[in-house]
A and B are shown apart, each in its own frame.
Chain A
Amino acid sequence: MHLAHYLGLLHRSQNELAGAFCEVGRAHDDEPDIHHICERLAVQCTEHARLLEPFVQRYSEEAVDEPERLHSTLFSGTRSGPVGLLRDLHDLYLMAAECDMAWTLIGQAAQGARDTGLLEVVRRCEGETAAQMEWLGARMKQAAPQALVVAS
């Protein structure tokens, strides 16, 4: 059963997203909304990872060998300036999208495994991940015209 690998993937992705939110928030602390909301969302991601932990443990006992190139790195540090902010938020968006789809797939798997406990965690967290993407998308859409067309 490969579910353990996907749970591990999401667990790792959530922790990486938490770290990335923290880094981006710190790097752009002159944008107080980015700073505060990133800080808050990092806490949310860490909590998601914590909720996944018991399932990662449980399913790892039944795991077979890890498939190749399971994990891909999506974040390699922050940038500065208005376009830099846009790129950093774009990175976060892609990382959140990876988590979002992983929640969907794990939700499917949980139904297949008849694991109501896992399904409950998915239901609780996937909405928050979607809301994170919603905020990142909205904030980028707001910033894009000024950063890409107006700023010299």
Chain B
Amino acid sequence: MSDRIADPWGSRTPYGPPATVERLAAALPGRLKDFLPGDFGRRSPWPVRVDAFLAEGVTEDDVDAWVPSASILHSNGDAMDIAVSGGRIVGVRGRADDRVNHGRLGPKDLYGWQANASPDRLTRPLIRGCGGELAETDWDTAMDLIVSRSKALLDGPGGWGNLAFYTSGQLFLEECYTLGVIGKAGIGTPHMDGNTRLCTATSAAALKLSFGTDGQPGSYADVDHCDAIALWGHNVAETQTVLWARMLDRRHGPRPPAMIVVDPRETPVAREADVHLAVRPGTNLALMNALIHVLIDEGWYDERYVRARTIGFEELRKVVADRTPRWAAEICDVPASAIERAAEIIGSSERLLSTVLQGFYQSHQATAAACQVNNIHLLRGMLGRPGAGVLQMNGQPTAQNTREAGADGDLPGMRNWNNPEHIRELAGLWNVEPSVIPHWAPPTHAMQIFRYAEQGSVKLLWISATNPAVSLPDLARIRRILAGEDLFVVVQDIFLTETARLADVVLPAATWGEKEGTFTNADRTVHLSGKAVDPPGEARSDLDIFLDYARRMDFRDKDGAPLIKWHDPESAFEAWKACSAGRPCDYTGITYGMLRGGGVQWPCAPGARHGTERLYAGGRFNTDPDYCETYGQDLLTGAEHTEERYRAKEPRGRAFLHAAPYEPPPETAGGDHPMLLTTGRTVYHFHTRTKTGRAAQLNAAAPDPWVELSPGDASALGVAEGDVVRVESPRGTLEARARVCGTRPGVVFVPFHYGYWDRGDSGPGDGVPRAANELTATGWDPVSKQPYYKVAAVRVSKAADALGVLSAAPTTGAASPHDPRVPVTAGGPEAEAREWTEADEHTEWAGSGAGEYSGTAGTGDRPRDRSGSPEKFETSRWFEED
């Protein structure tokens, strides 16, 4: 038994890289791998460890059914089975045979499902009555109200511009696609975005700019093969625990990979890494330019690959020409020697795996910095082969689906809004006039949607499965907009969130485990999530709600037939497959039947049994002008380039090396606000805590927000562990208890999960504000339009003595306290989960594909010597030269 609150990553199962012959087999294209005997070329040496947690008093014998699904509380896509007993969900168990997790689950997966059965689930629609209070009603009344309002707003020219949709990386693929078609072909509005804008817009933007389209080049299996891992602003230990477990297992096994991390905080990753670059917030691009300077200066790049497979080297060389480590050390406030050491690790690695997340995406010059990670891999020719990969990670669990299916600021199937032929394809598919589909400008991003609502031109805002009243920057403003008299707000959710409290109509939705559908994780693995139980009360799946709206709105195609021609998850999936055909995210070879056997990575054309493990093998990129998703953008202003300009570059399947000089961030510390605020997550909570705050073990592990301060800053401010501190920015204030820990001097960290729903309110009211986004500024990366959450100037002061109370910050993650008296975070008997490994001689889990591997055995100790690597860089030409 294992307390997975106390140990979020579970026990180690160390392993080493596969033998060279395995790696060569793994490098073969999928269709060739299909001819190899057994699962040669596909298997992973990562040992199986099956994690499970069942409700108290329930044993596996009591379980009536195990329903396949995957994680919905982070983006890793860990496969699991939902245990059902007596019509209730009673637990979860990791799937041993799934390529993503080999049976493992994280704390949010193990305990989070309990929130489904919370007594305060929404079970009936609510509408705001004349007295201003939300009151229960029936579905017909609620839907009729939405439909009559929609029709009135749509009446007349420009009516489309009154309606906007703000959705979430929580919906399933089928729901994203249905919403996308309703918005783009039914209403014809470009005002659609997801909260993916907050977590993954930069990932998409950087992938499109460098490689031509969205789509993750790498695979989680690259962890098995790599000899170096670089984590760029990625606290993977707390955001994707199972991926971190895989990395740790490599680090504890033979021939472990070197590890570099960029993070201003002393995260578990920073504590493990060989090089930790705790840069000043907002200076990532300066660091990246210096690293690339060294790679070029030392000749640590693949000259032939760069010449044959990329465009833009000379410009990049010029921009980084005098950007030395010494220059960056000054700006980033890290030692030049550490930058040099990081460059050396990158420059000497043969198989580098990079992962990128919010430390880059939500910071200054986000897209430019994320593109530099792509550049490192392009310069070194390290893409599309085992161990050499980039994972521009997602934050939200189904973020990939909002991006690819058109529920956010992208067109379905990764099509280019600026390419008339792509619009014609969609119009043909949906049987509507091309002019119906808005494509005169890029789709409207979330912050602009809220600005239009603030100005009064967006009059109906439909928010599904997300909570902007806690997650968007400058909350006082967001609450003001949502509460505005002239804005009709529809909220579709499973709880009465802060946002729902401000709505005019609240629709009760079904959630994970209560509906069927698919979703895709950060390494392109598609999972099917089954319906284990019925939703509570009158709650309906998001798909049913959208289908009902389309029916009542009577959206038609140009022949008068219903626009939406599907009626359930599987028929929606089939419709989506047709939309994805021939595009980078080709799902046409995937069926629900296939997915019942485990996750499959797209692209997967008909006849392919396994999907595609890595993109861009051979250095062929999606940059053909007729195929690409963007004609490029200016990295300084975000301005879109024209088709002519793009064609003139003659991409011919080559990737783009983008270059941009470092610029100081718009908001810097100084004067009245001498410190920099950065916000982020803890391992125990997801987003605005609506589910994880209702799971007892997770809530107890991190019940309240906290403020992380470095020991030096704390002592200068006269603040000790547990003291209540006030943090103020030009936008607002919050108060929380201080945790003195290893964050960078001058930097304050506050987790963004906490709002006011558990106080029964939409905002702080007369009470003490505690949401991190009271402080953050309305501002965004010009290219990806992702808001800046990592650079806000603040001042900190002591508000009250601790009086013997400690901060509620968990001790397991970045907030590991300096004060040794702080008791360690633990879950106790209520958090006892089970772990089976092969060593336990248990065979109780279903399937064993990944477990059969008998390659390099791991050992329990931690040899750090990497010099034993016998393999040499394959010098044969593996990419295409023109």
Check if A64 is an interface residue, CB within 8 A of chain B: no
Stretch at the interface among B547-555, B730-738, B739-747, B775-783: B775-783
Q: Are B782 and A33 in contact (CB under 8 A)?
A: yes
B-side contacts of A36, CB under 8 Å = 666, 779, 782
Against A, the Cβ 8 Å flags (1 = close, 0 = not) of B434-474 are: 00000011101001000110111100000000000000000
Could you say which of B158, B455, B637, B777 contacts A135, with CB atoms under 8 Å apart? B637
Check if A12 is an interface residue, CB within 8 A of chain B: no
- A151-B639 contact in complex given A134-B634, A135-B634, C-beta closer than 8 Å: no
Q: Are B162 and A31 in contact (CB under 8 A)?
A: no
Against B, the Cβ 8 Å flags (1 = close, 0 = not) of A123-141 are: 0000000011011011101
Among A35-68, those with CB < 8 Å from B are 36-37, 39-41
- A31-B640 contact in complex given A150-B158, A150-B162, A150-B457, C-beta closer than 8 Å: no
Could you say which of A32, A82, A138, A145 contacts B639, with CB atoms under 8 Å apart? A138
CB distance from A43 to the nearest CB of B (A): 9
A-side contacts of B157, CB under 8 Å = 149
Q: Are B634 and A131 in contact (CB under 8 A)?
A: yes
Among A102-151, those with CB < 8 Å from B are 131-132, 134-135, 137-139, 141-142, 145-146, 149-151
A-side contacts of B641, CB under 8 Å = 134
B-side contacts of A152, CB under 8 Å = 456-457
Q: Are B451 and A137 in contact (CB under 8 A)?
A: no
Check if B605 is an interface residue, CB within 8 A of chain A: no
B-side contacts of A31, CB under 8 Å = 451
Among A1-53, those with CB < 8 Å from B are 30-33, 36-37, 39-41
B-side contacts of A141, CB under 8 Å = 440-441
Q: Are B636 and A131 in contact (CB under 8 A)?
A: yes
Q: Are A146 and B778 in contact (CB under 8 A)?
A: no
Q: Are A145 and B457 in contact (CB under 8 A)?
A: no
B-side contacts of A131, CB under 8 Å = 634, 636-637, 639
Against A, the Cβ 8 Å flags (1 = close, 0 = not) of B699-714 are: 0000000000000000
Q: For this complex, into which size category does the number of interface residues on chain A fall?
A: 20 to 34
Could you say which of A33, A40, A137, A142 contacts B780, with CB atoms under 8 Å apart? A33
Residue of A nearest to B635 (CB): A131
Q: Are A146 and B457 in contact (CB under 8 A)?
A: yes
A39 to B777 alpha-carbon distance, docked (Å): 17
CB distance from B777 to the nearest CB of A (A): 8
Q: Are A149 and B161 in contact (CB under 8 A)?
A: yes
A-side contacts of B444, CB under 8 Å = 142
Check if B663 is an interface residue, CB within 8 A of chain A: yes
Residue of A nearest to B666 (CB): A36
Check if B638 is an interface residue, CB within 8 A of chain A: yes
Residue of A nearest to B161 (CB): A150
A-side contacts of B456, CB under 8 Å = 151-152
A137 to B160 alpha-carbon distance, docked (Å): 23
Residue of B nearest to A147 (CB): B457
B-side contacts of A146, CB under 8 Å = 161, 452, 457
- A37-B782 contact in complex given A134-B637, A149-B161, C-beta closer than 8 Å: yes
Residue of A nearest to B190 (CB): A145
A-side contacts of B442, CB under 8 Å = 142
Q: Are B452 and A137 in contact (CB under 8 A)?
A: no
B-side contacts of A135, CB under 8 Å = 634, 637-639
Residue of A nearest to B640 (CB): A138
Against A, the Cβ 8 Å flags (1 = close, 0 = not) of B781-803 are: 01000000000000000000000
Residue of B nearest to A132 (CB): B637
B-side contacts of A41, CB under 8 Å = 637
Among B623-645, those with CB < 8 Å from A are 634, 636-641
A-side contacts of B638, CB under 8 Å = 33, 37, 135, 138
Against A, the Cβ 8 Å flags (1 = close, 0 = not) of B156-173 are: 011011100000000000
Q: What is the number of residues of chain B that contact chain A, defined by CB distance less than 8 Å?
A: 30
Q: Label chain B's interface by main secondary structure.
A: loop
Among B600-656, those with CB < 8 Å from A are 634, 636-641
A127 to B779 alpha-carbon distance, docked (Å): 26
- A40-B636 contact in complex given A141-B441, A142-B442, C-beta closer than 8 Å: yes
A-side contacts of B636, CB under 8 Å = 37, 40, 131
Q: Are B441 and A142 in contact (CB under 8 A)?
A: yes
B-side contacts of A137, CB under 8 Å = 639
Q: Are A32 and B158 in contact (CB under 8 A)?
A: no
CB distance from A85 to the nearest CB of B (A): 10
- Most central of A134, A146, A149 by chain B CB within 10 Å: A146
CB distance from A39 to the nearest CB of B (A): 8
Residue of A nearest to B442 (CB): A142
A-side contacts of B782, CB under 8 Å = 33, 36-37
- Most central of A33, A132, A151 by chain B CB within 10 Å: A33
A32 to B777 alpha-carbon distance, docked (Å): 9
Among B160-206, those with CB < 8 Å from A are 160-162
B-side contacts of A150, CB under 8 Å = 158, 160-162, 457
A134 to B158 alpha-carbon distance, docked (Å): 26
- A40-B663 contact in complex given A134-B634, A134-B639, A146-B452, C-beta closer than 8 Å: yes
A-side contacts of B634, CB under 8 Å = 131, 134-135
CB distance from B315 to the nearest CB of A (A): 11
CB distance from A15 to the nearest CB of B (A): 21
Residue of A nearest to B157 (CB): A149
- Most central of B451, B637, B666 by chain A CB within 10 Å: B637
A139 to B639 alpha-carbon distance, docked (Å): 7
B-side contacts of A33, CB under 8 Å = 638, 779-780, 782
Q: Are B780 and A32 in contact (CB under 8 A)?
A: yes
Against A, the Cβ 8 Å flags (1 = close, 0 = not) of B138-164 are: 000000000000000000011011100
A-side contacts of B452, CB under 8 Å = 146
A145 to B435 alpha-carbon distance, docked (Å): 14
Q: Are A145 and B637 in contact (CB under 8 A)?
A: no
Could you say which of B160, B161, B440, B637 contacts A37, with CB atoms under 8 Å apart? B637
CB distance from B634 to the nearest CB of A (A): 5
CB distance from A31 to the nearest CB of B (A): 7
Residue of A nearest to B451 (CB): A31
Residue of B nearest to A149 (CB): B158
A91 to B638 alpha-carbon distance, docked (Å): 20
Could you say which of B440, B457, B637, B663 contacts A151, with CB atoms under 8 Å apart? B457
B-side contacts of A149, CB under 8 Å = 157-158, 161
- Most central of B441, B444, B777 by chain A CB within 10 Å: B441
Residue of A nearest to B778 (CB): A32
A-side contacts of B447, CB under 8 Å = 32
B-side contacts of A32, CB under 8 Å = 447, 777-780
CB distance from A14 to the nearest CB of B (A): 17
A135 to B65 alpha-carbon distance, docked (Å): 57
Q: Are B778 and A82 in contact (CB under 8 A)?
A: no
B-side contacts of A40, CB under 8 Å = 636-637, 663
CB distance from B318 to the nearest CB of A (A): 11
Q: Are B158 and A145 in contact (CB under 8 A)?
A: yes
Residue of A nearest to B777 (CB): A32
A40 to B365 alpha-carbon distance, docked (Å): 13
Q: Are B779 and A145 in contact (CB under 8 A)?
A: no
User: Taking beta carbons and an 8 Å cutoff, which residues of A are in contact with B?
Assistant: 30-33, 36-37, 39-41, 82, 131-132, 134-135, 137-139, 141-142, 145-146, 149-152
Sample 25 A-B pairs with CB under 8 A, ordered by A number: A30-B454, A32-B777, A32-B779, A33-B782, A36-B666, A36-B779, A37-B636, A39-B666, A40-B663, A41-B637, A131-B637, A134-B634, A134-B640, A134-B641, A138-B639, A139-B639, A142-B444, A145-B158, A145-B440, A146-B452, A149-B161, A150-B160, A150-B161, A152-B456, A152-B457
User: Taking beta carbons and an 8 Å cutoff, which residues of B are in contact with A?
Assistant: 157-158, 160-162, 440-442, 444, 447, 451-452, 454-457, 634, 636-641, 663, 666, 777-780, 782
Question: 14 extra interchain contacts, Cβ-Cβ under 8 A, other than A149-B161, A151-B455?
Answer: A33-B780, A33-B782, A36-B779, A40-B636, A131-B634, A131-B639, A134-B637, A134-B639, A135-B638, A138-B441, A138-B638, A138-B639, A146-B457, A152-B457
The 7 nearest A-B residue pairs measured at CB? A150-B161, A149-B158, A135-B637, A135-B639, A142-B441, A151-B457, A150-B158
